[in-house]
Amino acid sequence: MAIESPQSFVTYSASEQAAWQNGFRKNLGQENGWAAFGSTTAKGTIFLASGSDNGSWYVAIDHPGVVAELPFPKACVTHPGIAAYSAAHMSELYPVLTRIYELSVSLPDGPLEEFQAATDGLPEKTEAERLVKQRIGQDIFRNRLISYWQGRCPISDISDTELLRASHIKPWKDCETDAERLDVHNGILLSALWDAAFDKGLVTFKDDGTPEFSSKLSAPAMSSLSGHSKRISGLTAGHKENLIWHRDQVFNP
């Protein structure tokens, strides 16, 4: 596919608006018809271009973690970065850009870097001081899980933010490093009831995302959980590794 190069004023304006509205607000110039944009909060660079003959649009990215998890087919076009994606119209490209941003702020170490910046110089000699630092980390972890899971519990489809919990698969206290504590692959955004059951080992998840229930659940609890659930899709190798730990160390069959 041929790329419009250089971009016209109209094309560049549309590229800039799309990038801005999806969190990439740093203009990084243009080369070979691809306009580059960065972000102060998200990792990596996005590149936007328009087809010269059919009005289609393209986005290319250079973030390997995002490429690994972005659920869209790749485009066959010469591009910067490591992968490109296409849409027939700009409006169809917006969901791709939104998901790129959501993943870019979470992978692989965005939460850790934010935590380190927020806690740099904070004392942690006393238990109270350590708890302050932990709360900061848990708030960051929650915000990034909300982005990663697109603000919705993948089991119940509940999207009321007040009812969602940032559930660590391997609890904060059992993690050996801050990187492990703040890794979004060590968390699932669960509604309150699912979070409580998961935390207490009354439910876990198989590698394919299917819930596994404990025999210790009461009949009403089992009915509430099993009657409003589905399989989690899109679990990564990181999620699965942490779920092995959860099944071995937390789950009560």
Look over the chain and give the mean of its residue pLDDT values, rounded to a whole number.
95
How much is the pLDDT for 14? 96
How much is the pLDDT for 206? 97
Give the span between the Cα atoms of 108 and 72, in whole angstroms.
19
CB-based contact 47:27 (threshold 8 Å): no
Amino acid at 64: P
How much is the pLDDT for 53? 79
How much is the pLDDT for 143? 96
**228: pLDDT strictly greater than 80:** no
Q: Which token pair is 221?
A: 């609890």
pLDDT in tens, 167-182: 999 999 999 999 999 9
Task: Give 28's pLDDT tier (boundaries 50, 70, 90).
Answer: very high
Q: Is 189 left (phi over 0), alpha (psi -120 to 50) or beta?
A: beta
Average of per-residue pLDDT across 152-165: 96
Q: Which token pair is 55?
A: 């009005």
CB-based contact 170:186 (threshold 8 Å): yes
How much is the pLDDT for 250? 97
**1: pLDDT strictly greater than 80:** no
Q: Which token pair is 56?
A: 């289609």
Give the span between the Cα atoms of 203 and 196, in whole angstroms.
9
CA-based nearest residue to 88, from 101, 78, 75, 100 = 75
How much is the pLDDT for 52? 82
- Considering the chain, what percentage of its residues have pLDDT values greater than 70? 100
